[in-house]
Amino acid sequence: MNYNTLGETDLLVSELGFGASGLGGMFEKINESDALNTIHSAFDRGINYFDTSPAYGRNSSIFGPVTSEIILGKGLKDIDRSKIVLSTKAGKNASLPPEFNFKYNSIINSVESSLKRLQTDYIDIVFLHDIEYNKGMHLNLAMSEGLNALTQLKKEGKIRNFGISCYSVDVLQKVIQNYDMDAILVHNHYTLINDLLLDLMPKIKAKKMGLISASPFASGLLTHQGPPDWYPVTSKEICCINKAIQFCSQHNVTFEKIALQFALSNVEIPTTLFSCTNAQILGKNVDWIEEPLDDTVIQEVCSILEPLRNIDFDFGSYND
């Protein structure tokens, strides 16, 4: 496992980070014992960066109730805190359906609650979560009261760094240009079907912000299992994915391996978050990033997936 410094912070993060959205039942039903074992396995395999959110959970569905922060807190409590980098989010209080509150006191209370659920005295990074949702109606409040709250929490030592997490490239462009923060979390924009992060990276670096890329599997789209029920994808787009999966099968290559290797192939990206709830699957993912890339196969797969290149799935609009 390689480790990189995150921007101008003092955080040294593993190139592959553990995104805990899956622990909240966002993709499939989970078993808590398996989830805890997966967290421990991640650390044992060299992963030191763990990310979660109070919004990762299902309260009333076939998957719930379950909350990512609580499970992650249980999994990390016996690990030396100084050996892990931990991030969570605030402002988005629920995902299914989405609920937002970026007011000053709400952000303060959210982080205080996260500290308790995560069983820690401080959080290394807190991101304002999905600030672009509902056609940007929360953006001004997030970037005023929300940022002010995180600034205060940083002064108090309860958090060490702060930033935003976002999907919309337009919003990212605006935030990077007009605001100062420690880190930016961008999801779904450096995958086999999307490379829009490349346009943002020089601007992020110029502002001395740390970059976290998330979702190498495009939130489940680039997998055999396919996307979760909330994914705004069409049957035509799924057909294109299936063609790529079939190509990989014919060449004795795992589709998910190609997706993960591509997402970690850019040395300018300090860390990439992925999510899983099974220790065996986690082990396979770590094994894959340690294997050499097959550039020819990756190029062929990208060619098959070209019709999906840089499609704006607009998760915020979908969840209005």
Q: With left for phi above 0 and alpha for psi between -120 and 50, is residue 195 left, alpha or beta?
A: alpha
pLDDT tens for the chain, 320 residues long, are: 999 999 999 999 999 999 998 887 777 778 889 999 999 999 999 999 999 999 987 655 444 455 899 999 999 999 999 999 999 999 998 877 778 999 999 999 999 999 999 999 999 999 999 999 888 899 999 999 999 999 999 999 999 999 999 999 999 999 999 999 999 999 999 999 999 999 999 999 999 999 999 999 998 999 999 987 778 889 999 999 999 999 999 999 999 999 999 999 999 999 999 999 999 999 999 999 999 998 999 999 999 999 999 998 876 654 43
What pLDDT is recorded for position 316?
A: 61
- Are 92 and 98 in contact by the 8 Å Cβ rule? The answer is yes
163 DSSP β-pair partners: 127, 183
- Point out the catalytic residue in the list 3, 49, 56, 122: 56
Number of domains in the chain: 1
Rounded to two decimals, what is the model's pTM? Answer: 0.93
Neighbours of 268 (CB within 10 A): 13
305 DSSP β-pair partners: none
- Are 11 and 210 in contact by the 8 Å Cβ rule? The answer is yes
Question: Over the stretch 62-85, which tens digit does the pLDDT of each residue have?
Answer: 444 558 999 999 999 999 999 999
Q: What is the CATH number of the domain that holds 10?
A: 3.20.20.100
Range(s) of the domain holding residue 95 = 3-318
- Are 68 and 57 in contact by the 8 Å Cβ rule? The answer is yes
Is residue 3 part of the annotated active site? The answer reads: no
